[in-house]
Amino acid sequence: MADARYRPGDRVRVRKAAPLGHVRTPFYIRGYTGVVERVCGAFPNPEELAQQRDGLPAQPLYRVRFRQKDVWPGYRGNPADVLELEVFQHWLESS
């Protein structure tokens, strides 16, 4: 299992990449910055599992909290509204 590099409260940016294949990082969040809400544990990498491989070492999975107004231009609603997603460590970089 890969070591968890981030802790709750850390600012992280989702990599802006577009690899082919089965990826569980939605397009709409790539390139955006949020804050780690919690560490969910470590799970086999779904991108590897989809290729019939074992997905190991398991990748730390984080719940990352984004502000809606940062993600959607012209977001209507409370500026405190948030969007929380699960992002694997190899999709994150420090911000």
Partner 1 sequence: MKDLGAYRPLDYFQLMEVSLRELLVEKGVVTEDAIAAAMATMRARGPERGAAMAARAWLDPAYKARMLANGSQAAEELGFEVPGLRLIVVENTPQAHNVIVCTLCSCYPRMLLGLPPEWYKSRPYRSRVVREPRKVLAEFGTRIPAKMQIRVHDSNADMRYMVLPMRPAGTSGWSAERLAALVTRDCLIGVAVPKIPKTPKTRKS
**Taking the CB of residue 64, how many other CB atoms lie within 10 A of it?**
25
Residue from 12, 14, 36, 61 touching partner 1 (CB under 8 A): that is 61
One of 46, 69, 90, 93 touching partner 1 (CB under 8 A): 46
Q: Give CA–CA dist 74/72, Å, rounded.
A: 6
**Residue 39 forms beta bridges with which residues?**
62
Residue count, binding to partner 1 (CB under 8 A)? 26
- Indicate whether 39 belongs to the interface with partner 1 (CB under 8 A): no
39 neighbors 4 (Cβ within 8 angstroms): yes
Q: Which residues bind partner 1 (CB under 8 A)?
A: 24-26, 28, 40-41, 43, 46, 61, 63, 68, 71-72, 75-78, 80-88
